[in-house]
Amino acid sequence: MAGCGGCCGSDVKFDGLSPDYKRRLWAVIVLNAGMFVIETAGGHLAESNALQADALDFLGDALTYGITLAAIGAAAATRAKAALFKGFTLSLMGLWVFGSTAYHVLILNVPRAELMGAIGFLALAANVSSVLLLMRYKDGDANVRSVWLCSRNDAIGNVAVMAAAGAVWLTASKWPDLIVAALMAGLFLSSAFQILRQSVAELRRPLVAAE
């Protein structure tokens, strides 16, 4: 039954072979692609590094979810390799945000808190919708689990962006925005490590079984 992989003590992980899961994943891809466009424009207008980091996350998610769809139904090793690629991509994204944040420490103007908050709220609504759509499929194989982790990261990141907007408004300082961007980069790297660890374990499993 779809979504039951890994339950009742079974070691079998849900691999995405469900029409319902694919429909939900398409809906999440559309949400992420749309929010990438909105947050890219909003981050530029608000001069917010946190919003721009979140926009990059939306883009990365839309692309990697497409990889997830393409890998569904493929051999276990292929799905694990797709997850491995997404883990490396998420790592690069985290490192880019860290570097961008360090670069902006000295030159970034104080962001527009009201625009940050408004776009952050819109992004949060989109990500909560994505999390709810994918909730029942969060405990799948590395390919499926990477989708859940990315959606969860987005929701956490948007709460952080809204908190940063409030702090920027209260302090008239750029530092809350930069701190949140750095924390989001750390979240990207943490999730990338989880995805890489699980995908490597899944790639090693056939080798261990053959010994």
Identify the band that residue 5 occupies on the pLDDT scale cut at 50, 70 and 90: very low
Q: What is the CB neighbour count within 10 angstroms for residue 201?
A: 12
% of the chain with per-residue pLDDT over 90: 3
Identify the band that residue 10 occupies on the pLDDT scale cut at 50, 70 and 90: very low
Q: In 17-75, which residue ranges form alpha helices assigned H by DSSP?
A: 19-46, 49-71
Of 96, 95, 97, 63, residue with least CA distance to 82: 63
Q: Hey, which of 10-14, 26-30, 49-53 has the most confident mean pLDDT? A: 26-30
How deeply is 194 buried, as exposed, middle or buried, from its count of CB atoms within 10 A (0-12, 13-18, 19+)?
middle
Beta bridge partners of 14: 140
- Domains, in order of start, for the chain: 19-210 (1.20.1510)
CA dist 189 and 56 (Å) reads 14
At 12 the pLDDT is 45
Indicate the pTM of the whole model. Answer: 0.63
% of the chain with per-residue pLDDT over 70: 80
At 209 the pLDDT is 53
What would the mean pLDDT of 162-177 be, rounded to a whole number?
A: 78
Examine the pLDDT at 9 and tell me if it is beyond 60.
Answer: no
How deeply is 120 buried, as exposed, middle or buried, from its count of CB atoms within 10 A (0-12, 13-18, 19+)?
buried
